[in-house]
Amino acid sequence: MSRLRGKKLFMSIKIDIEKAYDSLSWDFIHDILIAAGIPSNLRRLIFQCITTASMQVLWNGELTESFNMGRGIRQGCPLSPYIFVLCIERMSHLISSAVGEGVWRPIRAGRHGPPLSHPMFADDLLLFSKASLEQVQVIKNVLDALCAALGQKVNTAKSLLFFSRNVSSDLRAQIMQASGFVAAPSLRRYLGVPLIVGRVTRDHFQSVITRVRSRLEGWESRCLSLASRITLARSVIQIIPYYSMQVLKFPASICDELECICRNFIWRHRADQRKLHLKYVGRVDEALKLHTSPPNSWLWKAITRAWNQVSKGATWTVSHGDRARFWEDRPQAAHMSVLRAAESFSGGWQDQLNTDGASKGNPGPAGAGGVLRKEDGVWIAGFARHVGIATAIVAELWGVLSGLELAWELDYWHVLLDVDSLLVTRLIAGSRPGALQLRTIVREIRLWLERDWHVEVSHQYREGNSVADWMARWSLSLPLGLHIQHTPPPKVRALLSGDIVGAALPRLCSI
């Protein structure tokens, strides 16, 4: 919104509710519990917990007499957040209804993005709409209706308005006067994280430094041992910025200052008392380091910051390029995974995938089948796919593709793929297919092989691929589509038993 230009005017409102828990109406809670379908016995028990709570006020160091409440829910009770979320959800329903009727005009996250009207988490509420006096009145009507039902009140002094840059100053003043909210250059914080508009600077994170320093003020005067100070620094001080660090990238100067504060607290270093203490200085040498300079774009700077992770997924190696076939060639990785580099290890696990295809007429009614088995031949799963009218080679390729999808979905990452077609193995290995239909399927198979797993493709004689051959022929009797078999069909069990015991299958060869 801060960079928006054009004729569309937008605004966002950060709503602050006064005493959100303490002012909740009990009658509204009762209606919400009924609407949520809570059983009457449980509903009475919940109300008993709410209405019997008593309070005392600390006045001049002394507690007053206890008194019962007439509204609100007690903070700190494990039941209170659930009740509050059920009640505040009514606001989401009111806003969604207004958006559906076309009264509320939300903003969109991009030209074709979804509408965004009210991200909310409990009582932390942001409202988005077009910037106009008409929309201000719609928002006020929704808030007034909810506050009247819940017994709550919007704190206009703490609620903030934020406009897109193309909203004129006159319209801003009119909206501020109609709503009663104050305009601000940013919405400050939401869910404990700064909502940064523009360039990230040290000023956005000074609140974190202030919180850490205020936490240390009460500890520095205590006589704590070195082990106690280290424990406090790890368990308390370093946890304060942890949540924000998960969402935002802190400037290096802020990280250095936080580290300095923790180090000085551990070694009792003060402004009026300087001490020598240990300091660790680490240096990391990277094989490939990207450099940035101030004129670089923010996208390039973001890539350089995440390069350690991005480089792990970069698999293409630059070469001459005169023989490269972009769509058919398999990328050459500059590094290899553990499983790919350990092919000579004979003690590793390896599940076996057999696939085959069948066609009556070539082209004619065609199908594919296969079986995924453990190393000892035990059935894991099988499949049969009726592909319609196709040639035998297309059916074979459909079998390979369906088998790879099945193995991946069942989380088997080290697979030996046996195919009884020598032409299919050559196409997968890199031979250029002639027909366009073959190119599409072969390209899809290569994309599956390039995933983060180990698949070894080998040629198998037809006599050793009898189970997959039966599944392929059986697919012709099934409806179109893929059919998964988690248990072997009765007629294939004899072939499975023969493979397990190692039955000999003679093959006639010409001399």
| Domains 10-194 and 351-501 are alike in CATH topology | no
- Topology of domain 351-501 in CATH is Nucleotidyltransferase; domain 5 (3.30.420)
- Of 283 and 499, the structure prediction assigns the larger pLDDT to 499
CATH architecture designation of domain 10-194: 2-Layer Sandwich (3.30)
Whole-number average pLDDT of the chain: 78
Q: What is the pLDDT of residue 199?
A: 67
Q: Which two tokens stand for residue 97?
A: 């209804």
Residue 323's pLDDT band (boundaries 50, 70, 90)? Answer: low
Q: Which two tokens stand for residue 251?
A: 């400037």
Q: What is the pLDDT of residue 372?
A: 92
The top-scoring range by mean pLDDT among 223-237, 350-364, 496-510 is: 350-364
Q: What is the mean pLDDT of residues 107-132?
A: 79
Of 23, 327, 273, the C-alpha closest to 148 is 23
Q: Give the dihedral of Cα atoms 409, 413, 417, 423; nearest 10 deg.
A: 80
Of 145, 172, 171, the C-alpha closest to 161 is 172
Q: Give the dihedral of Cα atoms 386, 389, 394, 398; nearest 10 deg.
A: -20
pLDDT one-digit tens code per residue, 34-54: 888 888 888 888 888 888 877
Identify the residue whose tokens are 């609100």.
Answer: 72
Q: What is the pLDDT of residue 417?
A: 92
CB 354 within 8 A of CB 382: no
CB 417 within 8 A of CB 411: no
Q: What is the pLDDT of residue 400?
A: 93
Residue 385's pLDDT band (boundaries 50, 70, 90)? Answer: very high
CB 247 within 8 A of CB 189: no
Q: What is the pLDDT of residue 347?
A: 43
Residue 490's pLDDT band (boundaries 50, 70, 90)? Answer: confident
d(CA 250, CA 207): 12
pTM for this prediction: 0.46
d(CA 97, CA 369): 51
Structural domain boundaries of the chain?
10-194, 202-267, 351-501
Q: What is the pLDDT of residue 345?
A: 41
Q: What is the pLDDT of residue 404?
A: 93
- Of 74 and 294, the structure prediction assigns the larger pLDDT to 74
Q: Which two tokens stand for residue 31?
A: 């209606």
Q: What is the mean pLDDT of residues 428-435?
A: 72
Q: What is the pLDDT of residue 284?
A: 39
- Of 405 and 440, the structure prediction assigns the larger pLDDT to 405
Which of 72-86, 261-275, 366-380, 392-406 shows the lowest mean pLDDT across its residues? 261-275
